[in-house]
Amino acid sequence: MKVEDEDRGFIAEIIATRYFLGKGWKFTNLRESDKIISAREEVEEQYERYPYMDKNWYVTNLVSKNFHLCETWGELKKLVEFLEGFRQNFSFIMRVEGKITLCSINPKKGEPSKEAENAIQVAKRYGYPVYSFNIALPDDVDFELVPMFSPYV
């Protein structure tokens, strides 16, 4: 059976997730990037209602901190600004050695697209370390469907 590109992406994400968990890294799959973006709005709303608290306090005490991984308002604002333009080029954000880090998954052989190269350059300008999780997956997989029990035989 031929392994489709969409399936390669899902398989690679599973393997990357296991790797990150094994390293003990905090990470978020950017399929959930809307939660990160809404965290900025939530902080702004809370600050509007209760301006006597610092925005950094709201960032560190939001339930969504597990998604955005940011420690300060400036860090969250910068991350959301970046993600609004380039999230489609990355698969995960992580906190590695105290820094927000971006990771793309590369389940195919070959060089990154021009769009991905541009996103990496912008990430560098933002000060984000960037990793590429390269994984070699086969083009085809063999399988066998073996009847173990059939009431029809």
d(CA 91, CA 103): 6
Note the pTM of the prediction, 2 decimals: 0.84
What confidence score (pLDDT) does residue 153 get? Answer: 59
Residues of the chain with pLDDT under 50: none
pLDDT, tens digit (0-9, with 9 covering 90-100), for 112-139: 788 888 999 999 999 999 998 888 888 8
What confidence score (pLDDT) does residue 4 get? Answer: 84
What confidence score (pLDDT) does residue 110 get? Answer: 66
What confidence score (pLDDT) does residue 61 get? Answer: 86
What confidence score (pLDDT) does residue 134 get? Answer: 86
